[in-house]
Amino acid sequence: MDNFKVIFHIDEQNKAGLVLHNISNLIADLGEENLNIEMVANSEAVKMLVRNTNVFETALKELAEKKVVLCACANAMRDLGIQKEELLDFVTVVSAGVGEIVKKQVEGWVYIRP
């Protein structure tokens, strides 16, 4: 069976619900066992990964339990004054969101930008 490697890019906070819905639908369509998924949030979209008062926490946690890697861009965190400790436990910080997306694509991951 093919193993699909997919990177989702989000930089608009109002796309948070759509991106999470897209990822769930993709897992339902192609099967968790056939997928490696990473979501990279940069710019204002890193706010969707902050703890507390986060309406997406349950959906994010479910995806993390399905091995979806959820990344926050350190440049955006610095711009917005967000500390690592403020992020949900299961979030990974990457030095530059766009750099991460470039490197993943060079390694053969496909890019989706909802």
Shortest spacing between CB 35 and a copy of itself, in angstroms: 9
Q: Does residue 64 interact with a copy of itself by CB under 8 A?
A: no
Contact status, residue 84 vs residue 77, Cβ threshold 8 Å: yes
CA angle 82, 49, 23 (to 5 degrees): 155
Shortest spacing between CB 54 and a copy of itself, in angstroms: 22
- Could you say which of 9, 57, 64, 85 contacts a copy of itself (CB under 8 A)? 9
Q: Does residue 18 interact with a copy of itself by CB under 8 A?
A: yes
Q: Does residue 28 interact with a copy of itself by CB under 8 A?
A: yes
Residues binding a copy of itself: what is the number (CB under 8 A)?
A: 31
- Could you say which of 64, 75, 86, 90 contacts a copy of itself (CB under 8 A)? 75
CA angle 11, 15, 18 (to 5 degrees): 135
| Residues in CB range of 52: below 8 A, 6 or more apart | none
CA 6 to each of CA 10, 33, 43, 57, 81: distance values in angstroms, whole numbers, following the listed order: 13, 13, 20, 21, 29
How far apart, in whole angstroms, are the C-alpha atoms of residue 50 and residue 73? 12
Residues that bind a copy of itself (CB under 8 A): 2, 4, 6, 9, 11, 18, 21-22, 25-26, 28-30, 42-43, 75, 95-99, 101-103, 105-106, 110-114
